[in-house]
Amino acid sequence: MKDIRHVSLSLALGALIVSSSFGWADEPPVRSAPQKVSLLSFLFGNGDDGATTAPSSETTFKQVKAVAVSCPSGQIVAIASGPEDSVIVIAGPARGVGQTSKGKKSGAEIQLYSGEGKLLRKWSVEFAATAAATAPNGEIVIAGDGKIAKLDAQGKELASIDAPHVAKLLKNPDAIKKQAEERKKSMIQLYEQQVTQFKKQAEAQAKRNKENEGKENAQSRSRTQFDEMIKIYEQQVKQLNERPLESFVSEITGQVKTVNAVAAAKDYIFLTCGESKGYGYTVWRMGLDFSNPKSVLTGLSGCCGQMDVQCCEDCLLVAENSRKRVGVYSFEGKQLRTFGKDGRDGVGEGFGGCCNPMNTFPAENGSILTAESEGNIKRFDKNGKFIELLAQAKLSGGCKNVAVAASKDGKRVYLMDLPGSKLLIFEKKSASTIAAD
């Protein structure tokens, strides 16, 4: 049975790899977030999404409103704390998508809400914005699809440029082509190595089957599973060899142009995006006028295409979801400390699910909010000590962007419901309500 479980797990991994091998570049717009399927669900069909939800616990906030968000080009894609204690919502194409079915550029819509969830105003931008922030001076910063722009609170554009790292990359098409060639070659080699490995395992299994011929055991059935894996990987090698180099170039370009997060401090703007080599993330720092761009943090890893970076007055908060922790870094990219740990039950300082926390937010009095794919919102102090479980929202789907924000006085908390395309609003419970709960 040990070999059968091993092959079954390999089959699941192979199928998941095959299904996602060509989805690293632009993905089609969706109305709801893709459902995450765990290996257990894949193998045994139990419907588990691979995530764990913290057991129902006492929360200090209650949900008071859910604002449905939509626009002609898509659904909710980001939220952020806005000027004058408002909430910025971006609606538009899914992250990484800047093309409509007709091949025309699809922009986004910026919607500004009051803390109570009333729409104050909205305006359109020409590019597919996927991240937003508010600078201390009240200016709104939005970014996405390789661009970054500044707007005033009324939506008037103050400045807009191609993101510095994208402009630098596009100036050297030969370098992109070389990276595309290397990526194609390495992927083919990876699958070829798997084919060789599975053939060896199949031969060894055939030998064991022959030795056990006539005996009743499960080993004799696993040869077919090896053969299925070999076919899957050989087909993948064939497809990669036939895949044009231009598609790898587009994949790399799209990966770099995707903006995962933007943050603003007194003197700096920070932009988080994919790296051209590999699948990590880089944080770029620049002046408020977009001058002097500099890479300050590289090699960040995030699960499911999610990497959130926010900033306090003097440091960066990185939701290192694949490591089940929050990293605190200086503006120069030096790690100052980390907090959080892997916790299956997701209680207290532990983060459950396959990869959490997904998002962070610097709240009042130096506290830090974290949000998990399953809808858990927690508060930690500035040193990373767990304080409280603020809320447990009911969200569908697996790993996803669950952007979180809060009012300046800390009495309201906002969460993005990506699958439902809603802005969720929570208010602090009274002491008597908490006691009754």
Closest CA to 3 of 328, 170, 182, 229: 229
Q: Is residue 342 a part of any domain in this protein?
A: yes
Residues facing residue 341 across a β-bridge: 350
Residue 40's pLDDT is 33
Residue 204's pLDDT is 85
Q: Residue 173 in 3-state DSSP?
A: helix
The long-range contacts involving 119-124, CB below 8 angstroms and separated by at least 24 positions, are 120/86, 121/154, 121/155, 122/155, 123/155
H or E element in which residue 46 lies: none
- In the chain, DSSP finds a helix count (H) and a strand count (E) of 7, 26
Residues facing residue 78 across a β-bridge: 90
Q: Is residue 278 a part of any domain in this protein?
A: yes
Q: Is residue 175 a part of any domain in this protein?
A: no
Residue 312's pLDDT is 92
The CATH number of whichever domain residue 337 belongs to comes to 2.120.10.30
Range of the domain at 277: 61-170+251-436
Q: Is residue 272 a part of any domain in this protein?
A: yes
Radius of gyration of the chain from Cα atoms?
23
Q: Is residue 213 a part of any domain in this protein?
A: no
Dihedral angle, C-alpha 136, 140, 141, 142, nearest 10 °: 150
Distance CA 390, CA 376 (A): 8
Residue pLDDT, tens place only, 143-195: 999 999 999 999 999 999 998 878 777 788 888 898 889 989 999 999 999 99
Q: Is residue 301 a part of any domain in this protein?
A: yes
Q: Residue 12 in 3-state DSSP?
A: helix
What is the number of domains present in the chain?
A: 1
Q: DSSP per residue over 340-374, as a string?
A: -EE-TT--TTEE-SSS---EEEE-GGG-EEEE-TT
Q: Residue 39 in 3-state DSSP?
A: helix
Distance CA 292, CA 435 (A): 53
Packed helices 173-211 and 222-242: angle between N→C axes, nearest 10 degrees: 160
Q: Is residue 411 a part of any domain in this protein?
A: yes
What is the token pair recorded at 97? 């998508």
Q: What is the pLDDT along the chain (437 residues), one digit of tens a residue?
A: 444 434 444 444 444 443 333 333 333 333 333 333 333 333 333 333 444 444 457 999 999 999 999 999 899 999 999 999 999 999 998 875 444 333 445 799 999 999 999 999 999 999 999 999 999 999 999 999 999 999 999 999 999 999 887 877 778 888 889 888 998 999 999 999 999 998 998 888 888 877 777 665 545 556 778 888 899 999 999 999 999 999 988 888 877 788 999 999 999 999 999 887 777 899 999 999 999 999 999 999 888 889 999 999 999 999 999 999 999 999 999 999 999 999 877 788 999 888 999 999 999 999 999 999 999 999 999 999 999 999 999 999 889 999 999 999 999 999 999 999 999 999 999 876 666 66
Q: Is residue 50 a part of any domain in this protein?
A: no
Residue 142's pLDDT is 97
Closest CA to 354 of 368, 373, 338, 340: 373
CA-to-CA separations, 320 to 259, 325, 389, 391, in angstroms, rounded: 16, 5, 19, 21
Contacts of 328 (CB under 8 A, 6+ apart): 315, 316, 317, 318, 335, 336, 337, 338, 339, 384
